[in-house]
Amino acid sequence: MNKIGFTLFLIIILSFMACSTQNEVGTNGLNGGIGIDILSENIGKTKEVVFKSLNLKEGKNVELSDKMAGAYILKDEQKFYGEDFLLALNFDANNDKMYGFMYIKDFEDNLKDGYNLTKKLYQDLTKEYGDPTTYPESPNSISKIPSYEELATDRISHYMETWKVNDEISVTLEMKYIPDTGIRIAVQYAVLVPTTRTRG
């Protein structure tokens, strides 16, 4: 192989490697959606490190929330159990480290769809992580949620359930119903906070 031929061959190889690297980053970033495992691996890291890891740039594909302190919301919706959700990354204002992430979905119309999705996610998360760790006596447990007809009144309602993902992370499913406003579903993965029961 002459010198010119070798140079062309080298250029082709380097171009192929560059494309392969770009595709790999895209799969782990926004183009292919961000997996829960990848998000979990970034918990405990600073915002700068997290943004670099997830190919995020403030103002381009992620924005600081004006309603949730320390939360950055991705502009592209992400899939969670087959549904489109907004994804928020939660950072501690004291040390700038990520302590969790949250999937959010609002229902202003078709509120029963929000109610049904809440019950579906309860089943999905129970299948994934086992029995909830929510106190059985909690009156606001999603396992005790009333029928939609009983829920859809003029009272604000709030139901939640928590599961242990592993020794370091928990996941909490919340549903808030606000009359004349709608239903909000939030699923938050966060650093596990140890709790103890108080004996009477």
Closest CA to 124 of 176, 74, 171, 191: 171
Contact yes or no for 183/176 (Cβ under 8 A): yes
How much is the average pLDDT of 18-40?
54
For the chain, domain boundaries: 1-32, 35-200
Contact yes or no for 28/38 (Cβ under 8 A): yes
159-162 long-range Cβ contacts below 8 angstroms, 24+ apart? 159/118, 160/134, 161/122, 161/125, 161/132, 161/134, 162/132, 162/133, 162/134
Full-model pTM = 0.79
Confidence of residue 7 (pLDDT cuts 50, 70, 90): very low
Q: How far apart are CA 80 and CA 78, in angstroms?
A: 7
Return the bridge partners of 78, or none.
85
Confidence of residue 32 (pLDDT cuts 50, 70, 90): very low
For residue 57 the two structure tokens come to: 């740039």
pLDDT tens readout for residues 127-179: 999 999 998 888 899 999 999 999 888 889 999 999 999 999 999 999 999 98
- CA-to-CA dists, residue 132 to 5, 136, 138, 140, 141, angstroms: 64, 9, 12, 13, 10
pLDDT tens readout for residues 55-114: 999 999 999 999 899 999 999 999 999 999 999 999 999 999 999 999 999 999 889 999
Between 9-13, 130-134, 184-188, the lowest mean confidence (pLDDT) is in: 9-13
R_g (Cα) of the chain, nearest Å? 22
Dihedral angle at the C-alpha atoms of 184, 185, 191, 192, nearest 10 degrees?
110
Residue 118 buriedness (CB in 10 A; 0-12 / 13-18 / 19+): buried
CA angle 28, 32, 35 (to 5 degrees): 55
Around 198, how many Cα atoms within 13 Å sit in the side-chain half-sphere? 1
